[in-house]
Amino acid sequence: MVKQVTIFIANKEGRIEKVTEVLKQNGINISSLSLAESVDFGLLRLIVSDPEKALSCLKDAGLSAKLSNVIAVRISNDPGSLHDLLTAMKEFNIEYMYVLSTQDTASMIMKIRDIEGAEKVLADEGFTVLKPEEVYQ
């Protein structure tokens, strides 16, 4: 399983820039992100090079952040590969997902309640579940 940083941010100008400034000042690289917004606030989800350090730095800067466990699973860059992944995961509720770009393949970040069960199903179906060190580089 991989650690994702989630930042709760006010829906105002400059808030994402503040997050990226903190990460830049602390030498933390962003591998992937997802931004969801509503009228009053947004959720910025990040896969970063050092999630624990990012959490600490963001909190020190006065931002509301937390770590979540997610799965990063490699899929091929071929038609139908996302369908095959979703078919393998049909017994799990995927709360959200987004893409992690990795060289010649893509990887999907998925939030699932039963991570251990999902990782077993994915391995049994022939998918490569990425280790944290593969994701954070």
Write the DSSP assignment of 50-77 as a string of letters: -HHHHHHHHHHTT-EEEEEEEEEEEE-S
**Mean pLDDT computed over every residue of the chain:** 90
Pick from 38, 50, 41, 32: nearest CA to 98: 32
120: three-class secondary structure by DSSP: helix
Q: Which domains does the chain have, with CATH numbers?
A: 2-69 (3.30.2130.10), 70-136 (3.30.70.260)
User: What pLDDT score does 27 carry?
Assistant: 97
| Model confidence, pTM | 0.81
Q: How far apart are CA 66 and CA 8, in angstroms?
A: 9
H or E element that contains 33: strand 30-37
Please state, in angstroms and rounded to a whole number, the distance separating the CA atoms of residues 83 and 137: 27
Q: What would the pLDDT profile of 113-135 be if each residue is shown by its tens digit?
A: 899 999 999 999 999 998 888 88
Span 93-118, average pLDDT = 83
- Whether the per-residue pLDDT at 90 is higher than 90: the answer is yes
